Each structure stands twice: as structure tokens, then as C-alpha cells.
Structure 1
Amino acid sequence: MAKYWEVIQEAGRVPALMKILDVVHHTTGLRFAAIARVTEDYWIACAVRDGTGLGLKAGDNLPVQTTLSHEVLHRGEPVVIDNIEIDSAYARHPAPQRYRFQSYISVPILLPDGTFFGTLCASDPVPHHLNRPEILATFRIFADLVAFHVDASARLAENEVTLSRERTQSELREQFIAVLGHDLRNPLMSIDSGTRVLLRRPERAAELVPLMQKSTARMAALINDLMDFARGRLGDGIVLERNIEYALQPILEQIVQEVATVQPERCIETQFMMKRAVTCDSGRVCQLFSNLLSNAITHGDPCEPIIVRASTDETLFQLSVSNRGKPIPPDAQDKLFQPFFRGGERRSQQGLGLGLYIASEIAKAHHGRLSVSSSEHETCFTFRLPIASSPDCQ
């Protein structure tokens, strides 16, 4: 179960806690009251009613050894003090002087499974007659109420996380099935249709085989994307095969040339300042770059150049791909790196909507970051990878 004190650090998370402290004050006259999570390592306030000017608020920590709650933790029994000046057990304890009280009461808060959560405590700068059965019984009841609310709140938070996770997984499964049914069916049907025609008219092989090969290549690319999605989302993440101090510039230039050959009508400008080698999985970095370049080709203004920049300095490798065109809306930018996202005009494009997601996962696997900025001037995707100092690679 989630850490209880994280669930109720803010009193607003469980409003009933403050009401319990108000009742404690009105019942006993004690001007300070608190509900605290207590362990061997820390005392942390979950809710506080401070009428003494101590300055303590929800979320604050105290050195646990300086508190009498530490005694409750070890003894498992309440601590009740009417007047600290004449109390034989705690007169010399540092807590009264440090936290400016003369009367004090603290009872353990035990969760439904018997686990010690913390204490319900109250104090006042003047003596009070607290060591009475009715007062102690009242505090025990309040402590049980706190335990109930803390447990219920923690379980609710846990259920919300589980529900959110299950909802996300359900949406991904639906998207997964949908894209499989749509995107893989098209090239498969194309191949099936081609083979049927070839069986009847083999003389059309020169015409149909290249088309079938393209469909096969497209299916292979889709399957590879699905495998990367499965590794990133359902497995242990994308696995890297790092090349030590690899000179990336030649292979980046090769990818640009390959894309330019296929898309000769598109202008791709490069600005490379690769003075240092980079330790990375060069194949995966090229996959990331290829995805970004393909994205710019698909969505950029065909009349404007695509700008590719790559540079290294003492600590950072940076690769960016920029294009002109319609800006990406802010709400869509937040979803770009999610799997299967093809919002707006992207829905009409071919592909699974996994390219940017996979690129982002590759960046994460390298302990780097892929980000996007988009305005009327340009849309730019940037990959930043921290690197160790390495010798010149040019």
C-alpha cells in the first residue's frame, strides 16, 4: 500500500482530520493538536491545529527523538502529562522545553491491520488535568477514527492509481487491435491480391513483384515498430547495444542522403558540428533520427527546407530536426510521444503512430531527452544526450 503519510500530508486530502483536531481542542481545551506519522526515522505532521504559535504545519518534519511520540512508538502506550514540572517520568525530557508545553497527551494510532501509523497528540503551555479515564477513552476513540480515515484514504488513492493504470492499458489494447486490423491488413491484402493475379497472369510479374516487395517491406517496418512498442511499454524497455565513442556524423549524413534520394523534391539542409565522439547505440540513434526526419517530411511544408542540426561539446550531444508548416497545437504537443497518437491531420497518415513514441523511448534508454517546440515560425524536435568527455572524432 502507498505510504500513508504521502497520502495525507495535506490536511485537505482528508478533511475529517482537521475536524477531529477541532473536537480535541473543544473537548480538552488544549490549544495545540496534531496527527503525526511516526517511525524510527521521522515524525511528520499530517494535520495540525496550532493555537500556540509554535509555527508547525502539515508536512513539517521534527527530529523524532525530540518528541514524546517516540516514546509512544516504543512503548505502544499513551503518554499523559498533567504538569511537566512535577512529572517524574518526563520532567527532564527535551520535548517540553523545545516545544513549549506543560501539559501533553499522545495516543498511538493503529491501522486496521494492527500496524503502528503514528500518534494523535495535543499539548498546551499551561497545566491541564488530562490523566482521567474519560479523556484517555476519548483520545482512543479519536485515534481509531483517524486510523479509519487514513486507511480509507490510502486505499482510495491506491485504487485510483490501479484504475488509471487499467484504463490506460485498456485504451492501449483497443488502439493496438485497431491499428493491427487496419494498418497491417492493407499491405497484406495487397500481397494477397498480387499473388492471385500472378497465378492467373504470371506475365505481370515484373509489374506486380516490386509492389508486393514494397508491401512486404511496409509490413516488416510495422512489425518492427510493434516489437519496439512491446519492449518499451510492456517489457523492460528498449535494450541498447552501445558503441564506445562512435563517430556519428558519417552515418547521420548517410541517412540524409538516403532520404534525399527517395524524396528528391524536398530540400534538406544540414549543419553538423560534431567535434567529439559519442558513446551510444548508433543504430538506435539513427532510428530516432530517421523517425524525426520522416516526421518532418510528412508534416512539414513541402516548399520549405528541413533543417538538421547536430553538435557536440564537452558534455552534450544535440540533434535537432526543424521544419516549417502549421504549428502543433499545445494540447497535441503533450500527446505527441504517446503510442498510437495520430491526432488531427495525422490520422489520415500511414503508419501506426509509434514513430515519435519509439524515438522518445530511445532517448530515455540513453538517459537523454526528446522534446518538441512549435510556433508559427517552425516546429523543432530536439534530442539531447549527456556525454562524457571524449577525444575528437573528426
Structure 2
Amino acid sequence: MPLILEMVKQATGMRFAAVARVTDRHWVTCAVDDSIDFGLIPGSQLELETTICHEIRQNRKPVIFTRASSHPLFSVHHTPKLYGLESYVSIPIVTADGQFFGTLCAIDPAPASFDESTVLKTMGLYAQLIAMNLDLHKDLLASGQALEDAHEAGVLREQFVAVLAHDLRTPLSAVRLSAELLETRVNEPRNLKLIRAVRQSAVRMGVLIEDVLDFARGELGGGIPIKPVVTDNLQEQFEAVLTELRVVHPCAVIQDTLSIPPGLNCDPDRLGQLLVNLVDNAITHGAKGEPVRVHIHTVGQSLVLSVHNRGVAIPEDVQPWLFHPFKRPEVGSRKDGLGLGLYIANEICAGHRGSLEVTSNDAHGTEFVATLPC
């Protein structure tokens, strides 16, 4: 949320941005970025009838003006006069089920100068991103509760596939594509950095959603689908995956040694997913500043893929549970993601009639080794 509010201020030139929860009785700030000492903090309330957001809740249309004193409507409106506003933008936030949550707004006592059409589109995108995050949070909470109560795989399928696939994939794709489009049209380095952060967050959220969908497929009894083909350029595909991982994790050090012959019979996309999950796991749970070492080669008729990291050893009593869904090593870990990465990696290995094993101790570090008869 702080990043979005900073981007709103950059896009509008205004010095105050906020997300407000607006109901038929209350106006409450959820998040604030205030450079004008307006006096609001998260949890602050305003009298609902004194705000323009009250009107937006009723008609669900954005409001924008850059100079209230000369505006035909807002020069006599009570809100700009009461709060001393000259420039104002407010966009409704509506969740996937059609519920009005509140508004994303920016204000300033000074006039603003920007292209209204561009700002409306940009802030509309940010409002969609906030709504999508609200939906994601709501759906994940509901899914976690359903998982605790569920006794049959059919219940899990309904919760994860129906809710996550239908409600989250489409708006998330819109956010990612919009960020990519903005990236081609913006040259200012600071704005480019912020846009890329939105795009990378959308990519990360997409990975989480696909992990959940793969989990659902696996729980239905057939395992994660594998489509093996004779592959001659697996090394180049792995190199591309590692390049992308270095972009996503710029602070991580990934050292690789790859020696992969042509003519392997495998599912290259799933093996790329296997590599992503193992390296992501090593970066997340490994010691900061220590390299993650990737070694991929062939032994006899098998492809051997190993990922090694330093850090706190995984206790022996925890290791048998690592490949179960929604499990993570607790010691020395940062709780990032849903705990599905190693489960999916193990399912991919099983789909290739291979195996995934782990060794972990203080002297050697932690190493995951996938052996695949390809």
C-alpha cells in the first residue's frame, strides 16, 4: 500500500494520498501518505457528509479537479471550502463481488497540473490493484479456513480452483499487462522503478495462484500433469529461468554450473518450474549474503538437478514433512508464500518418475537434489 500511495503522489503531483474505507455511516483512513500535515493517520475518521467520497459511494464515479476555485461545480461545493482544497482526485475501489470498499484519493491545497485522462487511467489501475489485493486476502483467508475444515478433495477443488482461478487470474493479468504497457511509455527512472515493482508483484502473485491451482490438480488424484517431449535446448531454457530469477531477486547471489546434453525426454516447462521453486526456496530460507549454488548435469540416463544454500539446518524431524502441502521449515525462515513450492517440486519429480531428496546440516548447509530419468 505505501508504494501505491507514493506512485499516486508521483502521478498527480499532489502531496497527500490515502485509501479510505467508506460505508453508509463512516469514513475511515486505511493508509496515508501525507506531506502537507493534513492531520490524518491510519484509523482517522471524518464526518461522512463532509466528504466527496460520500457522493462517490452513491454513484461509484470518480471525481477529479485541478483547481476548485474556478471549477463550475466544486467552486461552490462544501468539501473544498471546508478543507481548503484546490486539487482533488478520488477513485472508487470496488471488489470482485461488486461491493464498494472505499476510495483511493489524492488532495492538495494548491492547484495541480496534470492530464486528467492519464491520471484517471493510472489511478483506476491502482484502485483495481488494491481491490484485487483485498480479494486475494479475503479468498486466501477463506481458503485457509476451508482447508482446516475440509475432509474431502472435492471441497478443496471448489475453494481453490473456482475462487482463485476465476476471481484472481483475470484481474491479475490485467494489472500485469497494464504495468507492462506503462513501462513502455515512461522514461523517468524513478517512475520506471515503481512501475516495475508493480509488475514484479503481479508476477509473484501469479506464481502463488498457479501454485495453488497445481496443488488442486495434484489433490484430485492424477498428480500434476506432465507432457514430456524430446528437448534439445534444455540448458538454454534453464539459463533463461536463472536470468529471470536474478532479476526478480536482485540481492541474491545465484551461482550455476550447467552441463546438459540435447535429446532429453522431459517436460521442459515443468522442469523450469521445478528449478524456480527450488531456487526460490533456497533464497527465502537461506542465509542472507550467502550464494545459492545450482548444479545441473547428467549421470548415466538421469538428469540431476541440485540446489544448495547455507543457513540454519532443517531439523531431522521436520525434513519428512517438507514435501507436504502448506508446510515450511520454521527455524531460520521467513514466512513468504503458501508453503506449496516444495510440494509442487516433488510432484513434478514424481511425474517424471524421478525423486527429490534433501540433506541439511550445519556443516554442509541445505541441498535439494532432483534425480530424473530423462
TM-score band w.r.t. shorter chain: 0.3 to 0.5
Normalised TM-score (structure 2): 0.47
TM superposition score normalised by structure 1: 0.45
Bigger radius of gyration:
1
